[in-house]
Amino acid sequence: MAKPPNHPPPCPPGRPAGIPPWHAPSPEARAAFTAALKPDGKGLVAAIAQAHGTGEVLMLAWMNAEAVAETLQTGRVTYYSRSRRALWRKGETSGQVQHLIDLRLDCDGDALLATVHQEGVACHTGRRSCFSWGLEGQAVKPLEPVLAAPATLYGAG
């Protein structure tokens, strides 16, 4: 099996109306940002996605230096999938793309905060946020509705 080229795919055509166009930082700035990362033993840092405008926490995922560099270059949020051991471009399968507004590093260099414009839902369960579960009485239950059927998003049941 041929290895894919070592460059990110182009950003999907156009960004939604109402969000600023993406202007990639220079290669030197991207390199400085990734050099500031303090990843764990597996080369990963936690990445929190927060909705632009509302501050809603949408999800937590993982990034490695390659995912950070691609995110900064394309303006489309890219994570590292621990289960697939590969880059995961948010929305690649589901169409639920995250457009980067801002990417910040915490004071320790081991966590990132991505402010994003979320197209559709962020959670693979079809809910707006992955943080939509909580206590209802004595049971842990979903507190937010399913907005998109996972079978529709991923083509599986």
**Is 102 flagged in the annotation as binding?**
no
**Is 107 flagged in the annotation as binding?**
yes
Query: Residues 6 or more apart from 155 whose CB is under 8 A from it?
Result: 93
Report the distance separating Cα 31 and Cα 33, nearest Å.
5
> What pLDDT sits at residue 156?
58
Query: Could you tell me what percentage of the chain is helix, strand and coil, using 3-state DSSP and rounding each to the nearest 5?
Result: 15, 30, 55
> What pLDDT sits at residue 44?
98
Report the distance separating Cα 67 and Cα 34, nearest Å.
10
Q: Which residue matches tokens 């303090």?
A: 38
**Is 11 flagged in the annotation as binding?**
no
**Is 40 flagged in the annotation as binding?**
no
Instruction: Tell the CATH topology of 27-124.
Output: Ubiquitin-like (UB roll) (3.10.20)
* Separation in Å, CA 87 to CA 44, 68, 74, 128: 12, 10, 14, 22
If one counts every other C-beta atom within 10 angstroms of the C-beta of residue 131, the result is: 17
Walk along the chain (157 residues) and give the pLDDT tens digit of each residue: 444 444 444 444 568 888 989 999 999 999 999 999 999 999 999 999 999 999 999 999 999 999 999 999 999 999 999 999 999 999 888 889 999 999 999 999 999 999 999 999 999 999 999 999 999 999 999 999 999 998 888 875 4
What's the pTM?
0.86
